[in-house]
Structure 1
Amino acid sequence: MVKLELQRDIANSKEKLDKSSCRREELFSLMQTISFGFSMTQNYRMKQMDFLTKEYDSHYENMNQNALRAELLAQLYFPEIVDEVKNIKVLTNVIWGQQHRYFDSEEHAQKQKQEILNEFAKHSTHLVEKCSLVMDLLCDFNEVGVMEKEVV
């Protein structure tokens, strides 16, 4: 009887470890996707492909869904980093506005378009830094989802 309970406890602990690890990996992957999706590299690629505003809106919607999923995972399983993930969600909206202006600015003078791009670059860099911070913080969680270092 005791042996059976011990085996059940071990199986439950292993399942909990696996779930925590999967959630951490999923959130890490979402941060990578968001970071690249709003990077200068991706912006350049979209420009080279002559993205239309409609196509960019679709790209943004995908990135927004990733940010919402990341926020959900943080809220449910990693409350220590919720604020950082929420900041990323805010930045995705700011960047969407910048890129929307950029891709929809055919009639804007080149100087104005460059100003929009410079503003995008500033926000993009900030978003990439925030995503990197969240990825670093996720590495501080142990196998059961407990943060081993304190968030500053």
Structure 2
Amino acid sequence: MAVLFVVGLQAPFRSSREFSKKSFITCRFPEGANDYSVTPHINTQELTMSYIDGIVTAVPKANKDAFIQHAETADAAFMEWGALRVLECWEDDVPDGKVTDFRRAVQATDDEVVVFAWIEWPDKATRDAGMAKMMQAMDSDPRLNPEKNPMPFDGKRMIFGGFSPVVDFKK
């Protein structure tokens, strides 16, 4: 059974392969389509979507414990400021590409790993307010003060950006 998740709304599709809830959400799958072969059109103008900050950086392999401690300390502030989830991921299976790849994107050296992270916010307004608080707290909050909680990596090679989800499949 396919399930549509939209802003916390969970509703199973009926056997007719059609789901309609609150007139602004209508999804129809053609007969014979499997659950993930067709992307339904959803009018997102009336829906609130989460907002994602994505981060990729290179961290010296020897600094794994220091990185985890730094992230646990700093990420707690994002949670206080409205983030729904913060996930920090240590490189495990990151292949070298022929044209570009994660390692090249952050100029990782042989003694470094790639860390891929994201912060999920309930919406862009909450994210913008959280980031404003972060900028204000850089000197006053010890969790974010580089002198009290130094980054165990070269922040100049960190890449980051904000993203609006366009597809969100969940089980």
For the criterion TM > 0.5, the same-fold answer is no
Q: Which has the higher strand share?
A: 2
Q: Which has the higher helix share?
A: 1
Relative contact order, CA 8 A, sep 6+: which one is greater? 1
